[in-house]
Chain A
Amino acid sequence: MSNPSLISTSQLTKQYPGVRALDGVDFELSAGEVHVLFGENGAGKSTLISMLAGANTPSSGKIVLNGEVASFESVADAQGQGIYTVFQEFSLIPTLTVAQNIFLGWEPRFGPFLDHRTMRSRSREMLSELGFDIDPGQLVAQLSRAQQQMVEITKAFHGNLKALILDEPTASLSDREVDHLFDFIKRLKSEGVGIIYISHRIQEFARIADRVTVLRDGAKVGTVAMEDTDDNRLVEMMTGRAIDEIYPQIAHNPAETLLEVDQLVGIGVKGASFSVKAGEVLGVAGLVGSGKSRLFRTVMGLGSKQSGRVTYCGRDISNLSTREIIQAGIYYLSPDRKAEGLDLAKTSRDNLAVNLVMGREVASGERLVQWKRVDRGVSTISDTVELHQTYRRKPVAQLSGGNQQKVLFGKCFGQEADLIIFDEPTVGVDMGTRSALYRLIRDLAEAGKAIVIISSDLPEVLNLAHRMIVLAHGHISGELSGDDMTEDQILKLFFDESGVET
């Protein structure tokens, strides 16, 4: 990039009590480039952009904007100087219209009254200028997630845009919506706007990135031009270790078929058939919105089944409730451990005890709960998932994401399941804990359990699964095994359009 530097930071550091969230980072954004920030959760990406966005102030180091040292008092101040940020969490109010949201906080007035007409007409102008086809009079709640993202971007534009920061913008977009967003980014780029783009989706980088800066543990690992690198190299930079150190080899001993799904139709699931065998790991991949999670939530009875047949160990479980399906021997680990996985105010012991009490081994036949037996079970499970002693007596809310995930993994041991469905098993988990969790998955599979891994993290599925299914638009666009499991193959299946309704 021969363009001049737009924003640069030198030795930017953020110190919190006990934690150095960002440690002396030099970062540079040129005008007209897309610069990807890449790293694990907690690597410092969010801290870095929060300081560029004006939401946070550095402890030391400086930010240079257009050759002059800059300091931002607030997000509004940063916007005044031309830096706009679209955060991951939307700041839209669903019950207000698009126009009201765009002008929230700086509504045009007519004397003491709001000038709704100007608000609408100016919103329309702003939206069409950006090429978004959205009616400013619509309620935000009625928009798709992608359209909401567009409104969020529109909202950011109150003047001259120099730099745009996008935090995980594609996390919940369908691929067509992603295409639209990328077109928009390319247009901004050609107008000389610098874009900082945060994403976990390594497969997107080749499409838009000019340079990639990798962060790990708050420090910068390096900045590389996208054309000089590849995905494996980036993952190695991010994790600090080679890929085969992270993922264990899992012996493949497929036995009898446990789960058979035949033409299952539900909300967001349009006719899926597949089977899972004992002793094998089935990987499930697909973009967000492809229905990969929905499919298994429907199998579990968490979404309504409209037609189709689900058989487990020869027994028809199509019409059973979630509780009966769990009792039949399938356990589902939620991707959202905070919302539907754990009771955060309780200790790991209390969380695990629930499953032991509900499970077959401890409470069956007894009128009263035998807490001694439950406690023995709890400590066996805690040892198995390698939960450190000091964390066992603390409320789960106080544990790190990795340790919370260990507790969640522990729950499937309490319930005596033979088929375990891991939905996004390593969201927000650091690399060290990840490999511990992968070893647990290996042990379960090699002990003869059937394992399903649903993941948006493609390397995870590719390296762990023996066989995989790929979903697109609510149907299974392909099944791969052995040497066919390559990233190219999967990406093709990701964008399979055969299930699209016209």
Chain B
Amino acid sequence: MTAQIVSNSPSFSVRRLFVKVGVLPFFLITALVIFTLLSPKFLTGQNLINVARQSVYLVLVSMGQMIVLISGGFDLSVGTLIALTSVVSALGMVWFAGMFPDAIWVAILFGALIGFGVALIVGLVNGAGVAYFDVSPFIMTLGVSSVGAGFALFLTGGVPVSDLPFEFGDTFGFGRVFGIPVPVIVALVVIAVMWILMSRTRLGTQIYAVGGNIKAAHLSAINTKKTLLFAYVICALIASLTGLLLTARVETGEANLGGTIALESIAACVIAGVSLRGGIGRVENVVLGAFFIVLVQNGMNLAQVSSYMQMVLLGALLILAVIFDQLRYRMLMSGT
């Protein structure tokens, strides 16, 4: 029904909406209609709250991915970094807690700091490779993602790290403050910080400018290399934060966390109107984009679509979103 209304409305305003915000509103409406028809449980308050809670992790990673995409690159290593953070911080916590059984919170902090330290290194390596050595972002982050996955498996021998401090999972995985789950609060804070960063700070303006036309940015007194470096470091730190939250949720350090999240986060961004050419994208839309991806997954689960078929659909959705992105860019440039 809703799709009908859209196609009946004047095509001009549809085009304008499409050029302005991208394909997301159309995808979102289509998904809502299809899944509501397929499952009566889909469009219930409880289910939507579930979706919102589950989408926290993807929202976070997509924030980081968005920065890198706007700077004109992309980061395929976010999934690996989640796994690596999980393993490294879990090992750190277990080791520290074993040495000082009474200082549990110090152990948690210690583990988290090691995780962020690793993320900082990965972000610097990605950023330096792309900015200073002109390696294409695709190869750089693909290579780093193999290196990271290898380390994560090497450190654990493929066995999950268990016996994490109880307080860690209890607080950051399942805890609530004023009835709101802690991961949700973390996500809200990150969204707010990212919104300010991208729209109100010089660095944000520089990232948009570098992604839009790096040579023009260079001739406008922007340190393009440092800007790119920052983009990759911020992305890595956010991915690492997500890794910690997921570790708290599963209560083990696992080398196979975040397996599909690189693809999912790129899909979330592109569907939300972040251009793969760089320079274009908005924080608030990316939040919705990530929400949309989780919504589709939830809908497919309710409709009992097998997880293998879900992979097929996710990939197809990404390609479709990129095709629409190209179309949108052409319309934007020609003004038709």
Binding site for B on A (CB under 8 A): 321-323, 326-327, 332, 334, 339-346, 350-351, 353-355, 357-359, 363, 367-369, 371, 394-395, 397-398, 411, 415
Could you say which residues of chain A place their CB within 8 Å of the CB of B200? 368-369, 371
B334, A398: Cβ atoms under 8 Å? yes
A398, B329: Cβ atoms under 8 Å? no
Q: Quick check: is B142 within 8 A (CB to CB) of the other chain? A: no
The distance from the CB of A321 to the nearest CB of chain B, in whole angstroms, is: 8
The residue from A345, A353, A359 contacting B332, defined by CB atoms under 8 A apart: A345
Could you say which residues of chain B place their CB within 8 Å of the CB of A332? 219
Q: Which residue of B has the minimal Cβ distance to A415? A: B221
Stretch of B209-217, B261-269, B289-297 on the interface side: B209-217
B279, A323: Cβ atoms under 8 Å? no
Given contacts A357-B205, A395-B333, A397-B334, is CB(A345)–CB(B212) below 8 Å?
yes
Q: Which residue of B has the minimal Cβ distance to A344? A: B333
A354, B275: Cβ atoms under 8 Å? no
A397, B332: Cβ atoms under 8 Å? yes
Could you say which residues of chain A place their CB within 8 Å of the CB of B216? 334, 340-343, 351, 354
Given contacts A354-B209, A369-B201, A369-B205, is CB(A341)–CB(B219) below 8 Å?
yes
Q: Quick check: is B120 within 8 A (CB to CB) of the other chain? A: no
B220, A358: Cβ atoms under 8 Å? yes
The distance from the CB of A391 to the nearest CB of chain B, in whole angstroms, is: 11
Given contacts A354-B209, A395-B332, is CB(A322)–CB(B201) below 8 Å?
no
B221, A369: Cβ atoms under 8 Å? no
Q: Quick check: is B131 within 8 A (CB to CB) of the other chain? A: no
Report B250-293 residues with CB < 8 Å from chain A CB. Answer: 275, 277, 279-280
Q: Quick check: is B91 within 8 A (CB to CB) of the other chain? A: no
The distance from the CB of A232 to the nearest CB of chain B, in whole angstroms, is: 35
Could you say which residues of chain A place their CB within 8 Å of the CB of B334? 397-398
Could you say which residues of chain B place their CB within 8 Å of the CB of A321? 223
Q: Which residue of A has the minimal Cβ distance to B336? A: A398
A363, B202: Cβ atoms under 8 Å? yes
Binding site for A on B (CB under 8 A): 196, 200-202, 204-206, 208-209, 212-213, 215-223, 275, 277, 279-280, 329, 332-335
Could you say which residues of chain A place their CB within 8 Å of the CB of B333? 344-345, 395, 397-398
Q: Which residue of A has the minimal Cβ distance to B211? A: A343
The answer for the CA separation of A60 and B334 in the assembled complex, in Å, is 27
B202, A358: Cβ atoms under 8 Å? yes
A326-B219, A343-B212, A358-B220 given; name 16 further pairs at CB < 8 Å. A322-B221, A327-B221, A339-B215, A340-B215, A341-B219, A343-B216, A355-B220, A355-B221, A358-B221, A359-B221, A363-B202, A369-B201, A395-B333, A395-B335, A398-B333, A415-B220
Given contacts A368-B201, A369-B201, is CB(A346)–CB(B222) below 8 Å?
no
- In the A-B complex, the 10 residue pairs with the smallest Cβ-Cβ separation, listed nearest first, are A343-B212, A340-B215, A326-B221, A398-B335, A397-B333, A343-B213, A368-B200, A354-B209, A357-B205, A323-B221
The answer for the CA separation of A398 and B331 in the assembled complex, in Å, is 10
Query: Chain B interface secondary structure, helix, strand, loop or mixed?
Result: helix
The answer for the CA separation of A345 and B216 in the assembled complex, in Å, is 13
Q: Which residue of A has the minimal Cβ distance to B275? A: A345
Given contacts A344-B213, A345-B280, A345-B333, is CB(A334)–CB(B219) below 8 Å?
yes
Could you say which residues of chain A place their CB within 8 Å of the CB of B221? 322-323, 326-327, 355, 358-359, 415
Could you say which residues of chain B place their CB within 8 Å of the CB of A326? 219-221
B279, A343: Cβ atoms under 8 Å? yes
The distance from the CB of B94 to the nearest CB of chain A, in whole angstroms, is: 40
The answer for the CA separation of A415 and B219 in the assembled complex, in Å, is 11
Given contacts A345-B275, A345-B332, A394-B335, is CB(A411)–CB(B215) below 8 Å?
no
Could you say which residues of chain B place their CB within 8 Å of the CB of A343? 209, 212-213, 216, 279
The distance from the CB of B110 to the nearest CB of chain A, in whole angstroms, is: 31
The distance from the CB of A227 to the nearest CB of chain B, in whole angstroms, is: 45
The answer for the CA separation of A367 and B203 in the assembled complex, in Å, is 11
Q: Which residue of A has the minimal Cβ distance to B277? A: A345
Could you say which residues of chain B place their CB within 8 Å of the CB of A340? 213, 215-216, 218-219
The answer for the CA separation of A340 and B213 in the assembled complex, in Å, is 7
Identify 30 residue pairs between A and B in the complex whose beta-carbon atoms are under 8 Å apart, listed by A's number. Answer: A323-B218, A327-B221, A332-B219, A334-B215, A340-B216, A341-B216, A341-B219, A342-B216, A343-B212, A343-B279, A344-B213, A345-B212, A345-B277, A346-B212, A354-B205, A354-B220, A355-B221, A357-B202, A358-B206, A358-B220, A358-B222, A367-B201, A368-B196, A369-B200, A369-B202, A395-B335, A397-B333, A398-B335, A411-B220, A415-B221
The answer for the CA separation of A355 and B209 in the assembled complex, in Å, is 10
The distance from the CB of A150 to the nearest CB of chain B, in whole angstroms, is: 31
The distance from the CB of B200 to the nearest CB of chain A, in whole angstroms, is: 4
Q: Which residue of A has the minimal Cβ distance to B280? A: A345
B213, A353: Cβ atoms under 8 Å? no
The distance from the CB of B103 to the nearest CB of chain A, in whole angstroms, is: 36
Could you say which residues of chain B place their CB within 8 Å of the CB of A350? 208, 212
The distance from the CB of B329 to the nearest CB of chain A, in whole angstroms, is: 7
Could you say which residues of chain B place their CB within 8 Å of the CB of A394? 335
A353, B279: Cβ atoms under 8 Å? no
The distance from the CB of B21 to the nearest CB of chain A, in whole angstroms, is: 15
Could you say which residues of chain B place their CB within 8 Å of the CB of A395? 332-333, 335
The answer for the CA separation of A323 and B196 in the assembled complex, in Å, is 25
Could you say which residues of chain A place their CB within 8 Å of the CB of B329? 345
Q: Which residue of A has the minimal Cβ distance to B226? A: A323
Given contacts A340-B213, A369-B202, A369-B205, is CB(A346)–CB(B279) below 8 Å?
yes
Could you say which residues of chain B place their CB within 8 Å of the CB of A354? 205-206, 208-209, 216-217, 220, 222
The answer for the CA separation of A22 and B49 in the assembled complex, in Å, is 63
The distance from the CB of A338 to the nearest CB of chain B, in whole angstroms, is: 9
Q: Which residue of A has the minimal Cβ distance to B217? A: A354
A342, B213: Cβ atoms under 8 Å? yes
The answer for the CA separation of A351 and B208 in the assembled complex, in Å, is 10
Could you say which residues of chain A place their CB within 8 Å of the CB of B209? 343, 354
Q: Which residue of B has the minimal Cβ distance to A395? A: B332
The distance from the CB of A293 to the nearest CB of chain B, in whole angstroms, is: 13
The answer for the CA separation of A357 and B220 in the assembled complex, in Å, is 10
- With most chain A CB atoms within 10 A of its CB, the pick from B204, B212, B329 is B212
Q: Which residue of A has the minimal Cβ distance to B222? A: A358
The answer for the CA separation of A341 and B218 in the assembled complex, in Å, is 10
Q: Which residue of B has the minimal Cβ distance to A333? A: B219
The answer for the CA separation of A326 and B279 in the assembled complex, in Å, is 23
Could you say which residues of chain A place their CB within 8 Å of the CB of B206? 354, 357-358
Could you say which residues of chain A place their CB within 8 Å of the CB of B208? 350, 354
The answer for the CA separation of A350 and B211 in the assembled complex, in Å, is 13
B280, A323: Cβ atoms under 8 Å? no
B219, A353: Cβ atoms under 8 Å? no
Could you say which residues of chain B place their CB within 8 Å of the CB of A411? 220
The answer for the CA separation of A369 and B197 in the assembled complex, in Å, is 10
The distance from the CB of A428 to the nearest CB of chain B, in whole angstroms, is: 17
Q: Which residue of B has the minimal Cβ distance to A339? A: B215
The answer for the CA separation of A322 and B332 in the assembled complex, in Å, is 31
